[in-house]
């Protein structure tokens, strides 16, 4: 099983960052690689079990299911149902933790998945760089960090 973990600090209160990222359908508003997104069957975007269907800027389509969402603990966990990536059993968590020194936010994004050993390094690096760190960099720009 492959594992990817990326963390960072954003110069904004965790509650403000959570407001920006908690909407499971809101990726196009904060992640630069996402072109558009919709929640299937008109379900609310914070309903555990809902499925988001989104398109990347390069045209690739991905479907993901919300597995857990906590406003109290500021995290969401989701799985990939369909993706052009050569992966299976993908489960990821995006988590925010307040940093009281300077009113900043510690952000973590992690994933575990299965894939062929010959592509594991490339896939893991792509997720870490393009998805996780790319999202964190966009949040830092938005919050002035």
Instruction: Give 145's pLDDT tier (boundaries 50, 70, 90).
Output: low
Beta strands (DSSP E) in 16-126 are 34-39, 51-56, 61-70, 75-82, 87-99, 104-115
**CATH match of 2-142 with 3.30.530.20:** yes
DSSP 3-state assignment of 104? strand
pLDDT digits (tens, 9 = 90+) for 87-122: 999 999 999 999 988 889 999 999 999 999 999 999
pTM confidence score: 0.94
Q: How far apart are CA 48 and CA 59, in angstroms?
A: 26
pLDDT digits (tens, 9 = 90+) for 18-43: 999 999 999 999 999 999 999 999 99
């Amino acid at each position: 099983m492959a594992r990817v973990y990326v963390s960072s600090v954003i110069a904004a209160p965790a509650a403000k960052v959570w407001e920006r990222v908690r909407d499971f359908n809101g990726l196009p508003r904060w992640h630069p690689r996402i072109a558009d997104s919709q929640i299937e069957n008109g379900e609310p975007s914070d309903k555990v079990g809902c499925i988001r269907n989104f398109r990347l800027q390069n045209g690739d389509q991905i479907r993901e299911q919300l597995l857990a969402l906590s406003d109290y603990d500021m995290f969401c966990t989701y799985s990939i149902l369909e993706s052009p990536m050569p992966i299976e059993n993908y489960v990821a968590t995006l988590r925010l933790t307040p940093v009281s020194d300077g009113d900043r936010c510690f952000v973590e994004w992690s994933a575990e998945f299965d894939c062929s050993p010959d592509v594991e390094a490339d896939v893991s690096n792509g997720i870490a760089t393009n998805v996780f760190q790319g999202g964190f960099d966009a949040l830092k720009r938005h919050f002035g960090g």
